[in-house]
Structure 1
Amino acid sequence: MEGRRVERKKTLFERVRKNSTVDEEVENEGEEEDESGVNITEEEKKIGVSSGGGRRGSSGGGGGVSPPSCQAERCGADLTDAKRYHRRHKVCEFHSKAPVVVVAGLRQRFCQQCSRFHDLAEFDESKRSCRRRLAGHNERRRKTNPEAANEGNSKGQHPKETTHCRLADERGRIQMNLTGSSEYKSFNIR
């Protein structure tokens, strides 16, 4: 009786093995191997699935991207061969310097500081930078060292005697007198 059991198990095992090999053959009919030896089905080939042999993260098509062109109305300037600045801001060289440009139906001018088009009302006369940016520029210029401003004075006036900074000697060194103890002092120069 035990011998029959063993025979049944063997025949059952062989049948299962045969069925699984038949199933594998049916499954492998629509597959091909890629460069790395991994099987790929027809559907996966259409989708572009690969085991890593191909490029990842790159799209195959252009996606309908048009070449860069100027924002100004009725200007079809192709910016593909233009300077990087003009491509980035989508403005041709002519319209970046023009006093009046029609963009989106509005009369505007290209601001050199902002790299954007603004309404003409935001500019002073024929300036190429908007008032807001010019104000910031002028403010920074006024913050400079008062001695440097006086040196360039055409009247030839000397700096006031009450200034705390002294002129440099012939070697370019500035003499400083420290009051208080002679211990080490740290300070910040701004």
Structure 2
Amino acid sequence: MTAGSTKRPQMSLDDFEALERGAPETVTLEFIAGKLGVKPVPDGDHGAIFMWLLRQCMQHRPELDLHPEQGLRVEQYRTGRARSDGVLAPVAHFAGQGEWADPAGVLMVVEVTSHNSDSDSRDRNEKRDGYAAAGIPIHLLIDRERHGLMVYSEPEEGKYLDDPAYAYGEMVEIPAPVGITLDTEALKNFSD
């Protein structure tokens, strides 16, 4: 649950983790803001966008890894579980941490929106707020519906203070601690 919320979670964290362990490989479950969520299986454009970003990160910051589908303990008191499309962290940062890693030391999380009705609340709001509450410095949202990117930074008291928006094709500055510039022209190839 988010700070100040009076809503009760749908289930306990232990129940969620037991359910998630037994879920088939075709389903990705998350537990954000006290709600069980099902992440759709990514389509080809989703995968192509992730690979584009992976190549960009490797070129600019070879000492970092962009981990696909990394599970993180998010939200206040670590009562949430999010599986990010990408998590940028130092090489071997997650070694020995298990399926749901502590977000400490993560430099950036990445979400690429999916074409489903739940994407608006989950990718654009709930996960963003969970990442901010966990103190993750940068949250990059690649929004396929809006053909743009949001770069959230400066987390404070569960919110990101800075959130510039960019259209596909623009040069996108990712601030410190990532400190790279993304040429997003190629993202136009993955528009509807």
Task: State the TM bucket, normalised to the shorter chain.
Answer: under 0.3
Point out the structure with the larger strand share.
Answer: 2
Point out the structure with the larger helix share.
Answer: 1
TM-score (norm: length of structure 1): 0.20
Larger Rg: 1
- Work out which structure has the larger RCO, using CA pairs closer than 8 Å and 6 or more positions apart in sequence: 2
TM-score (norm: length of structure 2): 0.20
